[in-house]
Amino acid sequence: MSTTDLPVLGHWIDGAEKASSSGRTAEVFDPARGVATKRVALADKAEIDAAVASAHAAFPAWRDLSLARRQSVLFRFRELLDARKGELAEIITSEHGKVLDDALGEISRGQEVVEFACGLAHHLKGEYSEQVSTGVDVYSTRQPLGVVGIISPFNFPAMVPAWFFPIAIAAGNTVVLKPSEKDPSAANWIAALWAEAGLPAGVFTVLHGDKEAVDGLLEHPDVAAISFVGSTPIARYVYETGTRHGKRVQALGGAKNHMLVLPDADLDLVADAAINAGFGSAGERCMAISVVVAVEPVADPLIAKITERMAGLRTGDGRRGCDMGPLVTRQHRDKVASYIDVAIDDGATVVVDGREVVPDGDPNGFWLGPTLIDRVPTTSRVYTEEIFGPVLAVVRVASYEEGVELIDSGAFGNGTAIFTNDGGAARRFQYEIQAGMIGVNVPIPVPVATFSFGGWKDSLFGDTKAHGAEGVRFFTRQKAITSRWLDPSHGGINLGFPQNG
């Protein structure tokens, strides 16, 4: 079939999928087969304006709807998602490539935020102070912003948008979601589920596109806020452009997450954790462990245990019960594989070369097997850059102090972990380390939805993290009201400066 004959996924505007008029499309691939299965529309200015206009028009009625009625829609959406998440997992696997169990896990983590948002009335409560001055009371409320834009990455087409839209919608905002053009179908499926749950048309809009759509949301005067997850260079661009246009922005960037392994650690536990955190979802996670910092003398025995476990991993089609699927595109697979040559040129030791994998799947798929590289110089691009693939680097250090200094010297501060049986060392680590999310014998320390997700340094632009209490603050703004109801016996004119008393 010619790619021009492939079906085209349209935008979701005014409560239904709309055919695109821009004339621009991008191919969407099944990464395990290496073939295009559809095309997705790429919005032009007219479609960007139509999407935002729909959300803008829907905002007043949704804002004015009672919290109880908003929550009832959230509860219905939660029940529908729970009953039909298998459908969504199949869509994610077909376009991203991650194995079905991983796709289901992604949906479950996103559902946590939906459940948090079901109780948002509690988190929207204001404060009240009585008699702050004679006959004067002061109280505060939290109100929605208006139209909010979400720009999400390819690696979590369901979970990352769900970090934001449940809270935004529950708080009374309307949402325009711009998903990745690499795996866009999950967004339309979610939009249809919202409609089935009773969400009014225009409250949840899906705008497909590329940089033109991103810039359109960043610059549009009717978009009040932007939530973004992606690489650090783009996160910086989104933050600077959005704030320059007067928007509230939270932009979560890249990472280079370390696992510090002390000599007293349980190396079997560490090896399992390194496999799970380094190669799950083919390493296409912003919280993946990409560097094992081994405090000698543990490196050699730890590498032996990791290598032994890697030999049993099955790389292949995520619909066949494999452990790890393909990378999302051929271009990304080639880029990740190129780092193995960089490692060799820089004098590192390639212990397991993922380019040699024999996949359980179509040979045309975008395959790269789990890769382990020892003695990686900290000057190498393999160490300094976010690879975003199944490449695990080992760096050897002589002490805890050297390991902490190494981790803190990096540009990123997303997440990090320590593996030890020494409580004092763990407590010291969680206090000293310069990162936003810390794991103690937990390799991927993603907090539950009641806490907030986000890093430090070049891993986060803006001062508000995702979901939890900070998510509520991001999607609302506080209003303070000072009130006095005069007794009829009081009155008179006083031109002096108002004073407390």
* Three-state SS at 371: strand
**Residue 28 φ/ψ, nearest 5 degrees:** -115, 125
Q: Residue 110 — φ and ψ, nearest 5°?
A: -65, -35
Show the tokens assigned to 272.
């399992």
Q: How many helices (H) and strands (E) does the chain have?
A: 15, 23
Q: Is residue 184 within 8 Å of residue 158, measured between CB atoms?
A: no
Which token pair is 59? 């905002």
* Beta bridge pairs of residue 417: 259, 439
Identified catalytic residue from 235, 286, 336, 393: 286
User: SS3 for 498?
Assistant: coil
Task: Establish whether 286 is a catalytic residue.
Answer: yes
Residue with the two structure tokens 């109880």? 68
CB-count burial class (<10 Å; 0-12, 13-18, 19+) for 76: middle
Closest CA to 347 of 388, 375, 313: 375
Tokens 């206090």 belong to residue: 431
Distance CA 17, CA 192 (A): 9
User: What tokens were used for 189?
Assistant: 């499926």
Quote the CA–CA distance of 26 and 33 in Å, as a whole number. 18
**Cα distance between residue 56 and residue 175, in whole Å:** 9
Rounded Cα distance between 291 and 231, Å, is 18
What are 286's two structure tokens? 């912003």
Is 342 in contact with 370 (CB distance < 8 Å)?
no
The number of C-alpha atoms within 13 Å of 315 and in the hemisphere containing its C-beta is 25
Give a three-class secondary structure readout of 215-256: HHHHHCCCEEEEEEECCHHHHHHHHHHHHHCCCEEEEECCCC
d(CA 80, CA 441): 35
The edge-to-edge listing of strands for the beta sheet with 391-397 is: 349-352, 371-374, 391-397, 289-295, 257-261, 415-419, 437-440
Query: Residue 253 in contact with residue 288, Cβ under 8 Å?
Result: no
**Closest by CA position to 321, among listed 361, 288, 272:** 361
Active site residues: 286
